[in-house]
Amino acid sequence: MSARDRLHASVAGAAARPVPNNAGVPACRQPQQTRRGTEAHSPPTMSRLSRLPGILFALAAGLMWGLVFVGPLLLPEYPATVQAFGRYLAFGLIALPLAWFDRTKLAQLSRADWGEALKLALVGNIVYYLFLASAIQRAGGPLPTMIIGTLPVVIAITSKLRVARAGARAETSLAWVRLLPSLALIGAGIALVNHVELKHLKSDPHADLTRYALGGLLAAGAVVCWTWYPIRNAEWLRAHPDRSPRGWATAQGLMTLPLALIGYASTWLWSLWFDNGASTPGEAFAMPFGPRAADFLLLMFAIGLFASWLGTLCWNEASQRLPPTLAGQLIVFETLAALGYAFALRKSWPQIETLIGVALLIAGVIWAVRTQPGRARADVHPD
């Protein structure tokens, strides 16, 4: 057989074989019309080992996010507005040089992406920490910590009930019967620790119950903000698997900067106005950096770097690797870290009931990690 005959036979054989649509083209690059409305199965169920990197990233994020509960306790004389805007002003300034290194990744973001980053920065950063810092200053560390500790349950249930936004990839289904045991363990642990803190509160003759109740309500507002944030953030990340979690963390930092600048400047102007109208000299807060400027600046930049940027980066990595029903429960790492830091500042060991509650929280996380979801439809985000 001549070379030409062999070539014709090869071409004919190739034409006779069925060829899959867009063979060799990555799924994220296939034309939109070849995937819309089709039954696209998700990858095989994730093994526990394959989920380990995401779990470790969530653990790292929780350890760093626990630091945000320390600031209001270390600087009790600083208003919550100053701490919130100061922290995110530091976060935004840290993001500026990082943006240079991530400039290629940031250039890939569309106007809609930047708008999404702005909304996430406003609700998940500024408003959330205003609520949280105010709650901690009024109710102390453990009570708001445990109210925030309900996030794993709230996020998991909200993720289960919520209909994904149009264009977002549908997550792997997790049946209620498989989700409830871990939620019950986490809920029982949170309830037990809250019971201990309420007993501690009632035994204090100088406790202001109204102030503590207000702190609890403010912490509930923080829960609302941070129920919305991780679900929305995870939807964007999992709809854009080709985008960099680090670049997305930097983008949120850049969007936080103007919000924090406006908030800090407004707080300063309010302080000047209040000082002029104050009946007692020194009644107003000493802006711009307060009475302990060095401590304030050091703490704000430390929290801005570790809790805001690096914590967000680790959470973004976890969000791309884990379904929201699992990732939401792993926020319990933040609660455990914050409790540890709070008791370290108290210089006391937790009571036995608190330790049992922590053990239940950990058991709930382990159960959640061991739960295997089934297959589900995958609706790829239209890029």
Q: Please state the rounded mean pLDDT for residues 136-157.
A: 80
Kindly report whether the global pTM for this prediction surpasses the value 0.75: no
pLDDT at residue 309 in the model: 87
User: What one-character-per-residue DSSP string does 111-131 give?
Assistant: HHHHHHHHHHHIIIIIIHHHH
Closest CA to 215 of 149, 154, 137: 137
Question: What mean pLDDT, rounded, does the chain reach?
Answer: 78
pLDDT at residue 10 in the model: 45
Amino acid at 263: G
> CA-based angle 252:59:94, to the nearest 5?
30
340-373, pLDDT tens digit by residue? Answer: 898 888 888 888 988 898 888 888 877 876 775 5
Tell me how long the chain is.
Answer: 383
Beta bridge partners, 377, equal 41
User: What one-character-per-residue DSSP string does 60-87 give?
Assistant: HHHHHHGGGGTHHHH-TTS-HHHHHHHH
117-138, pLDDT tens digit by residue? Answer: 999 999 999 999 999 999 988 8
Does residue 207 surpass a pLDDT of 50?
yes
- In terms of DSSP H, where are the helices of the chain? 3-16, 48-65, 71-74, 80-101, 103-107, 111-121, 128-139, 142-148, 151-161, 176-202, 209-239, 245-277, 293-303, 311-321, 324-329, 332-346, 352-370
Does residue 14 surpass a pLDDT of 50?
no
* pLDDT bucket at 261, cuts 50 / 70 / 90: very high
66: tokens are: 């626990």
Closest CA to 183 of 357, 361, 375: 361
pLDDT at residue 144 in the model: 85
Contact 94, 313 (CB under 8 A): no
pLDDT at residue 47 in the model: 60
